[in-house]
Structure 1
């Protein structure tokens, strides 16, 4: 573990971080969780306290090989410890951003970020009992939730089941064990595909299936489930729960595999529709909280216009797939052709994705 030399003193509490205004983090420590997973801890510059929901993410803006690259990483830290935030990153073979972070980011370095953002948090639907299911680096948002619940005290009933390739790949292994020892209402278990290189492993071996889940969490049907991991893992979990008669209204999932997302093609906005009638000259888009106004060209998405005119808006896939740029439409109409990054109920509530929305009228956004 490496750390930066402290350059601050404890004085009055710092003001809170303002998304859209504050944007600079300084790395203060780097800690190896496993052979290919590292946790990076940051403080704000200037000093700020962080308020966010457990499970939310930050969008990193990095300069890599002369280009600006955006990537979302869930915070593994808890908002109950507001002076720093952490992200926990697995090195992915061929992964542009994860490899850059592992190879380059050191204590003292500064990066630009947007957020926090995201809807994956138990705070949106509090329950009496939770089941956290994760695989690989998908553990990060659920670790944030676990840390928050552990810090807040009071009654808790959490069962946490994490899947990994081997015991050596178990992220936060010892901390989860310690949390379970410290809190009576917290249980944890791990399942590994292979016990190598730890032949004395006494936990479950194989893959999460219904017999294993019923053995570990007999009352899982009465719990709110939060799931995060690789897409095949979450597909298998959904199938498992559905086959078990689980009420899928209690199921929540999150995934940030942007390498796959950005390789998929999202539908283009309907330029003909956007350019009809009085839209021939484009429309103004006002960002209510930021106070900025941009003008879209005919057929141009809101995000493209904002970026072209120098406005920094949270985004990642830019194809309507990841939901990073999601915001509320306060006034006006848009033509949105998304690729799955927004739920129908969110659309019904007035949410849009600027990356794939073309204004049909002047627009006001809640951002």
Structure 2
């Protein structure tokens, strides 16, 4: 049995009126019986899975609950993706590789698509499942695009991208967007900016599905220069190599994505570099490490966990034998959100302090003294 999008939308508008009569479920849970894309969580349907030697590219149609921010994101951002694995929802964040909607476009929801390209990681729960078992038609969960890895506004006249391995994925989104806007006469006055792209991986050319596209872009857009480095023969890319490869480095806005050691190395040469990172490398300046840590009372379980201030509440609870509901472990998907019932907790991402009655993300928060939380 199928339900059309208009009827699904009507069910959504009726949700508030009918909720008292459907408790403990929500009206949207019943709507999901008719249309699996409709529910209290933001969902999507996998429409294509293309497997290559190194990457698996997944195309997703966002469901009715996804607003235009899902396709009008900033090129370079990532999205949260949830899959049910062994009976539990597992979340990871992946860079979007498609360009956002063209400026001025108003695509119908049925025309909107998102793509990610995943490189399997040995023993990686999510990446190997995507590469080996994901099929078109699968319903997945989504969290809104986010992240600060994107070009400033206005678009700089001279840009440098430094990527290695799978670090090319967010830059593909940016390059596709720049090409799209230039051809449409949009961003940067309808011209492709002066872009140098240094890419390193163990191959003679960038891996499929990106190699042919990058080569074609270099041929079609005079402003784009691709410098490919085969690390198998030339060795790993180091920060000290960049000034020789890009003599006008000081004149360029630089964005880099790749292994953490490379990014740390690049920061020594390019202090203002923008890098892709889902985890903070240092505590916020407002947080004093001496104030962090404490005992954590885990709801009505009768169990108390302990954190030194560097162990998150989620990790401390698991170490104490109490598995908390969680997803991405990155502070993105909000699956791990719970309430503080006593004491205070500190979010390691921004130093925000939360007290009784307030909601925290257990995956990125630590106690600041004795703490008690609700356990669902």
Question: TM-score scaled to structure 1, two decimals?
Answer: 0.62
Match for residue 211 of structure 2 among 173, 176, 180: 173
TM-align CA RMSD:
4.2
Establish whether residue 55 from structure 1 lines up as the match of residue 76 from structure 2.
yes
Report deviation, 1:207. 2.8
Mapped to 1, the partners of 2:196 and 2:40 lie a distance apart of 38
Mapped to 2, the partners of 1:323 and 1:132 lie a distance apart of 27
Write the deviation string for residues 301-346 of structure 1: whole angstroms up to 9, x where unpaired. xx98xxxxxxxx99622xxxx45369xxxxxx964152xxx368xx
CA contact (8 A) 1:162 1:190 kept: yes
Match for residue 316 of structure 1 among 310, 313, 328: 328
CA contact (8 A) 2:293 2:366 kept: no
Query: Judging changes above 3 Å, is the alpha-carbon distance between structure 1 residues 46 and 335 closer, same or farther for their aligned structure 2 residues?
Result: closer
CA contact (8 A) 1:114 1:314 kept: no
Report deviation, 1:65. 1.6
Aligned residue number for residue 114 of structure 1: 143
Establish whether residue 32 from structure 1 lines up as the match of residue 51 from structure 2.
yes
CA contact (8 A) 2:238 2:262 kept: no
Establish whether residue 105 from structure 1 lines up as the match of residue 134 from structure 2.
yes
Write the deviation string for residues 84-116 of structure 1: whole angstroms up to 9, x where unpaired. 110100011111110000111111211111111
Aligned residue number for residue 42 of structure 1: 60
5+ residue gaps, structure 2, are 6-38, 183-189, 281-288, 300-305, 307-312, 315-324, 335-342, 354-358, 370-376
Query: Judging changes above 3 Å, is the alpha-carbon distance between structure 1 residues 135 and 257 closer, same or farther for their aligned structure 2 residues?
Result: farther
Mapped to 2, the partners of 1:122 and 1:315 lie a distance apart of 29
Report deviation, 1:188. 1.2
Report deviation, 1:46. 3.8
Query: Judging changes above 3 Å, is the alpha-carbon distance between structure 1 residues 21 and 146 closer, same or farther for their aligned structure 2 residues?
Result: farther
Aligned residue number for residue 113 of structure 2: 84
Aligned residue number for residue 214 of structure 1: 243
Establish whether residue 158 from structure 1 lines up as the match of residue 195 from structure 2.
yes
Aligned residue number for residue 135 of structure 1: 164
Aligned residue number for residue 17 of structure 1: none
Mapped to 2, the partners of 1:357 and 1:100 lie a distance apart of 31
SS of 1:167 mapped into structure 2: coil
CA contact (8 A) 1:59 1:314 kept: no
Aligned residue number for residue 187 of structure 2: none
Mapped to 2, the partners of 1:267 and 1:40 lie a distance apart of 45
Aligned residue number for residue 226 of structure 2: 188
Aligned residue number for residue 276 of structure 2: 254
SS of 2:254 mapped into structure 1: strand
Aligned residue number for residue 291 of structure 1: none
Report deviation, 1:270. 4.8
5+ residue gaps, structure 1, are 1-7, 10-19, 196-204, 259-265, 276-280, 282-298, 305-312, 327-332, 361-367
CA contact (8 A) 1:132 1:160 kept: yes
Mapped to 2, the partners of 1:57 and 1:173 lie a distance apart of 21
Report deviation, 1:118. 1.4
Bigger CA radius of gyration: 2
CA contact (8 A) 2:81 2:141 kept: yes
